Amino acid sequence: MQTLDWDDFINGVASDASVTGAANPPSAMTIGVFDGVHRGHQSLIRKVVEHGSCPTVITFRENPKQTLAPQTYAGDIITLHEKLIIFERMGVKKTILIDFSDDFRCLKGREFIEVLIYQGNLRFLVVGYNFRCGCCLDTDAQAVKSITAEHGVACEVVEPIMFRGERVSSSRIRAALRAGDWVKAAAFLGREPVDPRLCFEIAMR
């Protein structure tokens, strides 16, 4: 799997053809923080992997909440290194890492999506039902779908993933970890928690 910084991506740094099969192949993308890479996140990733175009994940080097809402930031469920391992094992060919810089924060949602379309040769985009992007979160999932349609790009908005009657979310996983309910946390993650030390830190918050 190739890992590329956002700045390199927007400046047209070529992909590693030995990984992707072409310098700038048509791509299928999904976007998110992917904290924990839980069952809901996995459903998005599987869709881009199954699409056939170069499966690409757009994510953040650090959780944006650390900058935008530090008072509510409860720590990450897994490390970036662990995320990348999971992405690769799921069949992702390229991951683009965003540093949440001042320049990036000024991007409007439309500008962000159009960068993905033109720089990423985007053909298929998958986002979650509650996805928002852009300066002041000005663009929601339905607006993203409209923008991609204008450019002839297919976009799918995925509804929440339910497991045993509950919506799967990173916040519910954290709550389970704090309560010492490792079974529930593992069930929502779709695997055992990766790093017990991180999970202990979350439980102590």
Q: What is the pLDDT of residues 30-51, one digit of tens each?
A: 999 999 999 999 999 999 999 9
Query: In this structure, is residue 193 part of a structural domain?
Result: no
Read off the amino acid at residue 40.
Answer: G
Region for 75 from its dihedrals, namely left if φ exceeds 0, alpha if ψ lies in -120 to 50, beta otherwise = left
Query: In this structure, is residue 127 part of a structural domain?
Result: yes
Query: In this structure, is residue 10 part of a structural domain?
Result: yes
Contacts of 192 (CB under 8 A, 6+ apart): 186
CATH number where 24 lies: 3.40.50.620
Give yes or no for residue 205 having a pLDDT over 50.
Answer: no
Query: In this structure, is residue 187 part of a structural domain?
Result: no
Rounded-to-integer distance, Cα 168 and Cα 189, Å: 8
| CB-based contact 60:33 (threshold 8 Å) | yes
Q: How many CB atoms lie within 10 A of CB 179?
A: 11
Half-sphere exposure of 153 (CA within 13 A, CB side): 26
What is residue 109's DSSP assignment?
A: H
Number of domains in the chain: 1
Which one is predicted more confidently, 44 or 15?
A: 44
Question: Structural domain of residue 39, as residue ranges?
Answer: 2-160
Contacts of 158 (CB under 8 A, 6+ apart): 40, 43, 44, 47, 126, 127, 128, 129
Give yes or no for residue 116 having a pLDDT over 50.
Answer: yes
Which residues lie across from 58 on neighbouring strands?
31, 96
Q: How confident is the model at residue 203 (pLDDT cuts 50, 70, 90)?
A: very low
> Whole-model pTM?
0.87
Query: In this structure, is residue 116 part of a structural domain?
Result: yes
Q: What is the chain's percent helix, strand, coil content, to nearest 5?
A: 45, 20, 35
Query: In this structure, is residue 28 part of a structural domain?
Result: yes
